Every structure is written in C-alpha cells, then in structure tokens.
Amino acid sequence: MKFTKYLLFILLTVSICFVGCSCKVRGSTSGGGIKFSIPFGSTYNYNDVLVKRVIDGDTIELASGQRVRFIGIDTPEVHESRKLYNDSKRLKMDISVIQELGRKAYGFTRDLIEGKSVRLELDVEKYDKYGRLLAYAYLKDGTFVNAEIVKEGYASLMTIPPNVKYADLFLKLYQEARQDKRGLWKE
C-alpha cells in the first residue's frame, strides 16, 4: 500500500512537470547542491519590455532575446527567404524592389520603437510556427505600434484567425493609407 501511494505521488509530480509548467534544474553557488524549482502559476510580465532591435518591419527582438512578431500586419521582406521569392512571384515584382520596400518599412519601425520600452498585448494564439511571440505593441505614450505601422502606410494586412482582435481597425487604417498614398503606397 505504501509503495502504491509513493508511486502515485511520483507519477503525479512528474505529470505536473509536463503539464503547464517549466522545470528548471540549476546549480547553487552556496552549497554546491542542485535546486529543483517548479514555478506554479508563473506568468510573464510584458508590461514594460525593452526592444533590443528591430529585425524587420513587423518583427522585433526584446532585450531578453525573445522574438516578437506583430499580429495583424505584414511588411515586405528584407532578408532572403522563401516568403520573399513567393511574394515576388505572387506580386510580379522584382526581388530587389520588394527588399527596398522592406528596408523602408524596417526603417520606419526601427525609428518608432528600437531601444524603447513597450507593453505587449497577447491575443488567442501566443506563438507562431517559428516560435515567435505574437503580440500587439504599445509605446509608453500609448501609441499602438501595429496600428501606427499600418496607418503610416508601411504594412499590409495579415489576418490569421483566431488572432483578430483589431482586424477591423487595421483594415480601416490600411484603406486610408492606400487612399492617401502614405508610406509604401506613395510609389
């Protein structure tokens, strides 16, 4: 009976580790022992995070090293990728033209948020297939970064359900930017 209770305790402990929490084993500097911690209910605070660098017009890297992809928007590619070649074929545009537009979008986003603290808002899905955090970003002054990039004409729309919280706003801003020939739509 004691063995059964012990085995049940072990199974329960192991299953808790694999369901919804991360287990960390780390060395201790004081006694040389190993500490095992299970951070139950740990949440990540994205209310004040530093943008280390802008990777392209719609992707940033935080000071923590975590990459964040802005929800609801898509900017032209800067870097060599399958998407760049697919966009070139789909839009019937030369790769170098797309990359030049991508550099303009990158420059706008860089000037807007690089080196600044932002607040991140998550939607239904937290990560994309590349492991990037999916988020809406806000500057300290309240500027809605995703919306600002669209409003100023540096992004198209990329609405992927279930992350559609601001899809209507983005559509309105996109249509206005195109109509008013702002940003990339000047050309």
* Domain range summary for the chain, segments of one domain joined by +: 2-37, 49-186
- Give the residue from 174, 184, 116 showing the smallest Cα distance to 154: 184
Residue 60 contacts residue 67 (beta carbons within 8 Å): yes
pLDDT value of residue 5: 57
- According to DSSP, the β-strands at 133-139 and 67-70 are parallel
Return the pLDDT at 2. Answer: 61
Q: Tokens for 142?
A: 């309240």
Q: Which class in CATH covers the domain with range 49-186?
A: mainly beta
pLDDT of residue 180: 97
26 a catalytic residue: no
- Could you say which of 26, 53, 67, 69 is catalytic? 69
Q: What would the pLDDT profile of 16-26 be if each residue is shown by its tens digit?
A: 443 443 333 33
Question: Which ranges of the chain have pLDDT less than 70?
Answer: 1-43, 187
pLDDT at 181: 97
pLDDT of amino acid 17: 42
Tell me: cis bond preceding 39? Omega within 30 of 0 counts: no
Q: What torsion, rounded to 10 degrees, do the Cα atoms 60, 124, 119, 21 define?
A: -90
Q: At what angle do helices 95-113 and 82-91 cross, to 10 degrees?
A: 120
Residue of 77, 82, 90, 178 marked active site: 77
| 57-92 b/e (C-beta count within 10 Å ≥ 16 → b) | bbbbbbeeebbbbbbbbbbbbbeeeeebeebbeeee
Helix, coil or strand: residue 92: coil
Which member of 103, 132, 178, 187 is catalytic? 132
pTM to 2 decimals? Answer: 0.76
User: For residues 138 and 116, what is the distance between their CA atoms, to the nearest angstrom?
Assistant: 10
Active site residue 77: yes
Q: How far apart are CA 125 and CA 108, in angstroms?
A: 26
Question: Is there a catalytic annotation at residue 67?
Answer: no
CA distances from 177 to 72, 77, 90, 118, 169 (A): 16, 19, 22, 24, 12
